[in-house]
Structure 1
Amino acid sequence: MLTFLSCLHIPCLQAQQQHKEWLTGIKDSSYSSHSDYIKNLKHYPFIQLVPDSSIEGVAESRNLVYASLGDRKLHIDAFLPGTTRNRPNPAILIIHGGGWRSGDRSQHIALAQHLAAKGFACFTVEYRLSTEAFFPAAVYDLKAAIRWLRAGADQFHIDTGKLSVLGFSAGGELAAFIGMTGGLEKFEGTQGNPGMSSKVNAVINIDGTLSFVHPEASETKHPEKIGASAWWLGYPRTERLDLWTAASPLSYADNNTVPFLFLNSAVQRMHAGRDDFKALMDKKGVAVQIIEFPNTPHSFCLYRPWFSKVVTDVTTFLHNIYAE
């Protein structure tokens, strides 16, 4: 497995000016849980979108600010187990999908609520999308959120030795990237709590790609296409393959030491690089579990009848890796 830690330099990450017209500064509302539901209902008429609904025993604090970039504030929501334990709770940072360009943190509030009811302190997080900033801005934001959680460990009663990151789709790719690049200075950013670590203890990747350049990646099969990946990276694949490689979590697999859980739909293109990653981790003795949900749409985690199993699978995985 070739890694790019030695050849990746900050200038290549900051030189994304060629296609600055893609930075519209206008919120992209093309993707939402509701629009996804309407689309999938045609093929899965039995699905039910799990609503944002307060659960007894779960304490909620919404619209907290975890970092500021000038006048731009980045927000996060907290969903905390209501039962006081003698020991702090394990924590999960939850990252929404939407092609790095659309969607928002409300997408996984229901998941946060149900996982909090299982004893996990959950946080749904906002990050800068590609209408506002190119890669690696979102990575900087999310690592700032992790540092913020560590700094607020006492306030939120969380165990910073049991801090995981969970993401769906683009959020799954970001979760994987964060897990594999913990402690790499070039991906830390400067906002918020610089004395705290941005490392996590586990990654849950729900249908997020591991590579933009793997043979199985849709971007490799359609290299001329200008879409979500190009808009996020600031360049088409044909112009800056080095950047597309540097933005792929799989490029940093040799650096990884944290357990991974993959929850995957029936959409094969979303699994690019997963099996290569597992083979490498098996050799290193790092735990990787793959659970597939047959005959499901990409966004299966948002819907019943699969939602309850997602909650169970995440809970079981984290209990197993944190077992004392």
Structure 2
Amino acid sequence: MSTATPRHRRIRTWLLVSWTAGLIACSAVIVIPLPRTEPLWLLYLGISSFSLWLAPLSAGAVILVVLWRAQTSRRLRIAAALAAAAGLTTAILPLGLARQAAIETGTSLSAADYLRGGINFSSDPDPARAKIYATQDGQPLPLDFWPPTHLSTRPSPAVVWLHGGGFTVGKQSRYPRWDEWLSGRGFAVFDVAYRLSPPARWADAVGDVKCALGWIVRHATALGVDPQQIVLAGQSAGGALALQAAYTTGDPTLPSSCSAPDVPVRAVVALYPLTDLTAGWNSDFNGELRDSVSEYIGGTPLTQPERYRGASPVAHVHPGDPPTLLIAGTHDSVAGPQAPRLDAALRTSAIPCTFVSIRGADHGFDIQWGGWAAQIARHALDEFLQRYLPTNS
């Protein structure tokens, strides 16, 4: 016979109700497509990236139902059991969705890496790593240097990394786990800051990237870098800039923002990039991407069509462009629809391209360093870099 007081029963009932409602809400966020607004995107990204943690929560709901069987109604027990089942299903759903890309790329997914991965984000770069590569409009432009962690008698290949942030926010080394991982694999890493909007920076930002490349080549001997073995890489807006800079080497309409000459790169990597800014502007029904792109370009596609074309990597594809790695998630309403079109344009021009599409992954999936999509991205990037920039590490 239960000795619980009515007050205790009410507390237990409300705990089960809130637990049940939370699990159902988490399941709904994963399964049901939501409107593209920043709060809902962050909600989906957070739940989908850490969904495996729903498993113990779901198991906890089952345990509570068993322990408090006598203090809960039959309907509440059924609801809690259903919520627990939904939570368990949702916990493993992202793994099931990502499994196809894992098989295609040969990635061995690790639950241990998932659980201990942590967050890939930093609000403040380490000033000890910063080197000023230029000053524009009175603004010093830094890049962070991450030397390879193991010694080599030969110059190191380099990866130049560009942060995301919708062309309006962000700093160098914003996602430092990429820098740490790449330097640990034998690459010299340069995480580059560039000028942000407002005002319009559609030509300035890519000019800053080219300026940084020139600075790196000029200092290659002192830094122990092979100037013939440089890859451009970036996420989101940084991925778009990496592609734009790589595909417009020598283009007089998009020159370096300093006196440095254009530097051809060995290959280019873009994680969930915007590749057609006009299409992105037209498809953004919630206005957030539209506002940042309008600031970056200095107008709309109707008022500035040539600028939109100049800032869109897909418009600059031509034979001779460097080999390209594209990685995007199918749940990504920004880059998901655009990456396949760039992949097709590259293949038409006979440019080697590897396109990795990850089912269920959203924009910014690599913020969860151990997440299934991030594991796939690291494996694909590792194979791509070893193909074009072998380090013998």
Does TM, normalized by the shorter one, top 0.5? yes
Match of 2:222 among 155, 159, 166: 155
Partner of 1:237: helix, strand, or coil?
A: coil
Q: Confirm or deny: 8 A CA contact 1:224 1:236 kept in the other structure.
A: no
Higher strand content, 1 or 2: 1
Q: 1:277 to 1:73 in 2, by over 3 A?
A: same
Match of 2:360 among 295, 306, 322: 295
Residues 1:45 and 2:50 are matched in the alignment: yes
Residues 1:231 and 2:298 are matched in the alignment: no
Residues 1:258 and 2:322 are matched in the alignment: yes
**Residue of structure 2 in register with 1:96 after alignment:** 163
Q: How many matched pairs?
A: 280
Q: Confirm or deny: 8 A CA contact 1:67 1:191 kept in the other structure.
A: yes
Partner of 1:85: helix, strand, or coil?
A: coil
Cα distance between partner residues in 2 of 1:61 and 1:95 = 19
Cα distance between partner residues in 2 of 1:321 and 1:281 = 17
Amino acid of the structure 2 residue aligned with 1:200: V
**Residue of structure 1 in register with 2:339 after alignment:** 274
**Residue of structure 1 in register with 2:205 after alignment:** 138
Match of 1:209 among 261, 269, 274: 274
Q: Confirm or deny: 8 A CA contact 2:334 2:363 kept in the other structure.
A: no
Residues 1:197 and 2:262 are matched in the alignment: yes
Q: 1:172 to 1:70 in 2, by over 3 A?
A: closer
The TM-score normalised by the length of structure 1 is: 0.78
Cα distance between partner residues in 2 of 1:302 and 1:273 = 21
Cα distance between partner residues in 2 of 1:275 and 1:222 = 18
**Residue of structure 2 in register with 1:171 after alignment:** 238
Judge which range, 114-123 or 124-133, deviates more: 124-133
Q: 1:39 to 1:272 in 2, by over 3 A?
A: closer
**Residue of structure 2 in register with 1:17 after alignment:** none
Q: Percent identity?
A: 21
Cα distance between partner residues in 1 of 2:300 and 2:138 = 31
Match of 1:114 among 171, 175, 181: 181
Query: 1:121 deviation in Å?
Result: 0.7
**Residue of structure 1 in register with 2:20 after alignment:** none
Amino acid of the structure 1 residue aligned with 2:45: N
Q: Confirm or deny: 8 A CA contact 2:162 2:191 kept in the other structure.
A: yes
Query: 1:51 deviation in Å?
Result: 5.8
Partner of 1:163: helix, strand, or coil?
A: strand
Q: 1:70 to 1:234 in 2, by over 3 A?
A: closer
**Residue of structure 2 in register with 1:23 after alignment:** none
**Residue of structure 1 in register with 2:281 after alignment:** 219
Amino acid of the structure 2 residue aligned with 1:239: T
Q: 1:276 to 1:71 in 2, by over 3 A?
A: closer
**Greater CA radius of gyration, 1 or 2?**
2
Q: 1:190 to 1:126 in 2, by over 3 A?
A: closer
Cα distance between partner residues in 1 of 2:200 and 2:303 = 19
Amino acid of the structure 2 residue aligned with 1:65: I
Cα distance between partner residues in 2 of 1:309 and 1:274 = 17
Cα distance between partner residues in 2 of 1:219 and 1:285 = 28
Query: 1:248 deviation in Å?
Result: 1.0
Q: Confirm or deny: 8 A CA contact 2:199 2:298 kept in the other structure.
A: no
Judge which range, 131-140 or 150-159, deviates more: 131-140
Amino acid of the structure 2 residue aligned with 1:259: P
Partner of 2:166: helix, strand, or coil?
A: coil
Judge which range, 41-50 or 167-176, deviates more: 41-50
Cα distance between partner residues in 2 of 1:206 and 1:246 = 20
The TM-score normalised by the length of structure 2 is: 0.65
Partner of 1:86: helix, strand, or coil?
A: coil
Cα distance between partner residues in 2 of 1:205 and 1:177 = 10
Cα distance between partner residues in 2 of 1:294 and 1:238 = 34
Query: 1:282 deviation in Å?
Result: 2.6
Q: Confirm or deny: 8 A CA contact 2:301 2:308 kept in the other structure.
A: yes
Q: Confirm or deny: 8 A CA contact 1:262 1:289 kept in the other structure.
A: yes
Q: 1:70 to 1:140 in 2, by over 3 A?
A: same
Query: 1:135 deviation in Å?
Result: 1.4
Cα distance between partner residues in 1 of 2:161 and 2:275 = 18
Query: 1:139 deviation in Å?
Result: 0.8
Cα distance between partner residues in 2 of 1:83 and 1:42 = 37
Amino acid of the structure 1 residue aligned with 2:316: Y
Q: Confirm or deny: 8 A CA contact 2:232 2:268 kept in the other structure.
A: yes
Cα distance between partner residues in 2 of 1:64 and 1:197 = 20
Structure 2 unmatched ranges of 5 or more: 1-40, 52-113
1:103-155 residue CA offsets vs partner (Å, 9 max, x unmatched): 22232222111110011111111110012542111011111000011111112
Q: 1:89 to 1:42 in 2, by over 3 A?
A: same
